[in-house]
Amino acid sequence: MEFINISEPEIRKPLVIAAMQDMGNVGSIVVNFINKNLGTAPFRHVKSTRPPYVYDRGGFIEIPEEKWEYRFGNDIIIFGGGSGQPQQNDELNELCQDVIDIAKKYDAKFIYTVGGFHTSRQFGKHPTTYVTTTSKNLLEQVQKLGIETTPQESVITGFNGLILGYAKLNGINGMGLYGELLEPNIPQYRAAKTIIQTLEKLTYQKLGDLSELDAKADAVDNQLSGDMKDEY
């Protein structure tokens, strides 16, 4: 991994939101939405030095650029988005540790991550966001707010789970917010919307106009309906 500093933001004790692309692109949708609506600015980026694949352009190949940004706004640091995650475990662990190091550098007290929650429950246009935490004490606080917590034991893989483990190992409080989805290969804007609504409730911050996500979700529905009609 290559870590490149662009500037040194003057922030202290920010909230950190860190998430990467995952099922339904939920992590990237949330990160990109918050960056756009809060007008965050980049201050550091990370590049993978080990390409997980190559593009065949029809007789010649191109190497994809894997790059992720750290951005900041008022009392907040946002990390992630992008088009994928590191494919090697050592790079993934190195990236998680770097997020923790940045959180410590700016004296962050809390890390949030977000992602998809694959389910078979039929929820229509109203998915639920489930929260898990780095401690039982935090769990009790979340439950007092009336927020749903993860309903059963499971293994959370990838950056959007592992970062919580790194937070706990380093004495930083953390929460993972995971929005329900049925189709992990389709962008899930409604899952992202319910995650952002839950984030707003937890952080007491307004993160943007959510009607934009409703419009994108409807556009995906319309496209899928059109594709199904074309099959008949």
E-strand ranges in 36-143 read: 41-47, 55-56, 61-62, 67-73, 76-81, 110-118, 129-133
The answer as to whether 65 is a domain residue is yes
The answer as to whether 231 is a domain residue is no
The answer as to whether 232 is a domain residue is no
**pTM of this structure:** 0.90
Query: Distance between CA atoms of 89 and 109, rounded to whole angstroms?
Result: 26
Question: Can you give the residue range of the structural domain that contains 154?
Answer: 2-226
Query: Distance between CA atoms of 119 and 223, rounded to whole angstroms?
Result: 22
Collapse the DSSP code of 11 into the 3-class scheme (helix H, G, I; strand E, B; otherwise coil) and give the result. Answer: coil
Q: Note down pLDDT in tens along the chain; length 232 residues.
A: 899 999 999 999 999 999 998 899 999 999 999 999 999 999 999 988 887 788 899 999 998 888 899 999 999 999 998 777 887 888 899 999 999 999 999 999 899 999 999 988 899 899 999 999 999 999 999 999 999 999 888 888 889 999 999 999 999 999 999 999 999 999 999 999 999 999 999 999 999 999 999 999 999 988 887 655 555 4
Other beta carbons within 10 Å of 139: 16
Query: Distance between CA atoms of 147 and 229, rounded to whole angstroms?
Result: 39
The answer as to whether 200 is a domain residue is yes
Query: Domain containing 111 — which CATH number?
Result: 3.40.50.10900
